[in-house]
Amino acid sequence: MSAHNLLVVLLVEELPPKALPQLGRAFAAGIGQALHAQGLLLEGAQPTAFASPRRLAVHLGRVLGKADDRALRLKLMPAAVGLDAAGEPTAALHKKLAALGLGEEAAQRVVAEGEGKARTLFIDTVVPGVALTEGLQRALSDTLAELPIPKLMSYQLDDGWTTVRFARPAHGLLALHGAEVVPVHALGLQAGRSTQGHRFEASSPTLDIAHADDYEEVLRSRGAVVASFERRRQDIAQQLDDCARALGGGLRCLHDAALLDEVCALVEKPRVLTCRFDAEFLEVPQECLILTMKANQKYFPLVDSEGRLSNHFLVVSNLDPADASEIIEGNQRVVRPRLADARFFFEQDRRQTLQQRVAGLQRVTYHARLGTQAERMQRVRGIAMALAQRLDPALVAGVEKAATLAKADLLTEMVGEFPELQGVMGRYYALHDGLSAEIAEGIEDHYRPRFAGDVLPRSELGLCLALADKLETLCGLWGIGEQPSGDKDPFALRRHALGVVRMLMERPRESRAWPLDELLLLGCTSLRGIQGFADPSQALLDFLFDRMANLLREQGYSAQQVDAVLGLRPQWLGDVVARLDAVRTFSALPEAQALAAANKRVVNILRKSPAAEGAGLRPDLLQHAAEHALADALQRLQPLALQAQEAGDHRAALLCLAELKQPVDDFFDQVMVNAEDPALRANRLALLQQLQAAMRQVADLSRLAV
């Protein structure tokens, strides 16, 4: 049967905007995969997804009207059950064949395979290909049942009795195979060829689609709808940039991928309009204005070349009238009270200093088992001051002041309205209170990095605060059993761990004062005395190294290279990248694999000989020339490698050790390690211990072995 293109469209009321992109992809993929599994979708055909606020649709090329028949060998039952002693079919076999829809004559086509008790009965049959109507019905029903809908709603059909559950009430179903309607049904709807366009700008209330390939063009030309989510998104982004350039003055739009997706899911025919607000509102911190415009109104702010907010902003309208002045005036009128609220919050908050708010932290619960924000502040302050003392005692006084005030902005009106501004508003209020820029920046920076790729704290003071805050969070929550599980991480401990790792890796000068195990000890010590707290240091150490390994692999290092460096559990993270670069260079050497394999062999030998641990090498017991050569090479090269490593030149250290390849090869070729003489055996094991120690100065090279 010939193949034609297939179109399936579900017309609904406005879908949840934040879920729309995923719903569109899932609808298209679900139907495509189900048809492919039934043999109706030819190889190489890819579904095209369409998603707008009021419709989910998929276009599929090369769909058969009926799947091909398939030859199939069915396993029936053991021969001992299906055949009697004379080899005739038993009642059990006839019953099985009947259950499969096969007549009694099918028993003559049953074959036995195997020998003895393992003999099994099979039958070769032909499974008729499924018709498109049946296959699409199954695909549609299964796909709708499995859509990732955030929250289902129930509604009644027109008969007044039947209840349907879906994301939003559905009003139309279209299914075309080429030019023919496929008579499927879903959500109380029968498929046809009609759909609807834009609520207000379509040329007619209903649109008939003559052919499956006409859908996108008919919706665009007669329905005033851009059906493709991606095309609509690209159109909005281009219009935003064009409007910003048209204003001149180097203005640019603050693009936000999440906001762009959400706005794209709210409009079917986007038109970007330029609006403005009173310049007097620019006296309010621009972060507040930007957030209120984006979060509350779904507007796109504009900034100049230096990042300063403009009093112009962009609106994405779902209407495209010849005269858009009323839409522009309406949006300008709507945004004014929002900005006035932000200004009111800012003015009210500045009537009380951050220091005056600190006492109020005693009334704010941080966690039921970890106490109030005041108690948490004291723990963070203690950790931060200890970090500062190790780094630079001159920092301690500033760190103490900043840590005391860092959480005070949680009690402000602005942060109460916009929690995303915690820290940011703390900086503004600290400057208003007359505190130094360093302390103000430290208050803001103690939340950094807030997300993957975010900037690190600007100063050493901010670094101490940020590290202390994340350590207290990790140690406290992990210690009371709130660690992440699977894909659940309600307290974002993975993000906090990644922040600790990045600060220690990317600020090597400062982090040299803070070995990782001592940091965890410092964090856990601050929490002792809390009921039910169990020291999580070891588990957290593994967790941090796991986060670090993921980060490094994302940066392009191989799993083996990362394992070789992190396998040594380095406590100073500032030189991990330098070690990895050295290992990468070493891995490219022709000697690398042989040395890695030899080291793996050494590890295995020493693992089986625990008695050799700690034994010293006796030169007088070196008998074989290969033993002497290896011992001499180690004595000559190990100090050079150690000197290079202490100078921070890990690459030179590993290049020195590469010279050991020939002595190591000769040793294993010519020397029996497990000699019968106990003294000789112990001495050779001691020599291998020296070799292992030398080869583990930069990384565990045995883990590079393929």
Three-state SS letters, 386-428: HHHHHHCHHHHHHHHHHHHHCCHHHHCHHHHHCHHHCCHHHHH
> What is the structure's pLDDT at 610?
58
Residue 659's pLDDT is what? Answer: 85
DSSP of 565-597 = HHTT--S-GGGHHHHHHHHHHHHTSTTHHHHHH
Neighbours of 647 (CB within 10 A): 10
Pseudo-torsion of CA 201, 204, 208, 211, nearest 10°?
-50
Report d(CA 598, CA 666) in Å as an integer. Answer: 11
CA 35 vs CA 60, 131, 135, 139, 264: distances in Å: 10, 11, 7, 6, 29
Q: Which of 536, 545, 541 is nearest to 505 (CA)?
A: 545
Please name which of 607, 593, 590 lies closest in space to residue 704, comparing C-alpha atoms: 593
- Decide: 164 and 157 in contact? Cβ < 8 Å: yes
**Peptide bond connecting 449 to the previous residue in cis, omega within 30 degrees of 0:** yes
The 8-class DSSP code of residue 206 comes to -
Dist. CA 51–CA 29, nearest whole Å: 13
The pLDDT value given to residue 586: 84
Alpha carbon 14 to its chain centroid, in Å, reads: 28
Average of per-residue pLDDT values in the chain: 91
Q: Are 395 and 467 in contact (CB under 8 A)?
A: no
Q: Rounded to a whole number, what is the largest CA-CA distance in the chain?
A: 104
Contacts for 628 with CB less than 8 Å, ≥ 6 apart? 622
DSSP states of 469-524? HHHHHHHHHHHTT---BTTB-TT-HHHHHHHHHHHHHH-HHHHTT--HHHHHHHHH
pLDDT tens digit sequence for 224-249: 999 999 999 999 999 999 999 999 98
Which pLDDT belongs to residue 677?
A: 84
Structure tokens at 551: 């980060």
Question: How many CA within 13 A on the CB side of residue 554?
Answer: 9
Find out whether 654 and 582 touch, Cβ atoms under 8 Å: yes
Distance from C-alpha of 572 to C-alpha of 575, rounded to nearest angstrom: 7
Alpha-carbon distance 229 to 221, whole Å? 17
- Which stretches of the chain drop beneath a pLDDT of 70? 1, 610-615
Q: Using alpha carbons, list the distances in angstroms from residue 230 to 47, 587, 649.
A: 14, 43, 49
Asked if residue 139 lies in contact with residue 35, where contact means CB atoms within 8 angstroms, the answer is yes
Dig out the tokens for 192 from the structure: 């046809």
Could you tell me if 611 and 599 are in contact, meaning their C-beta atoms sit under 8 angstroms apart? Answer: no
Burial classification of residue 490, based on how many CB atoms lie within 10 Å of its CB (0-12 exposed, 13-18 middle, 19 or more buried): exposed
Beta bridge partners of 301: 313
**pLDDT value at position 613?**
54
Helical axes 373-391 vs 516-525, angle rounded to 10°: 150
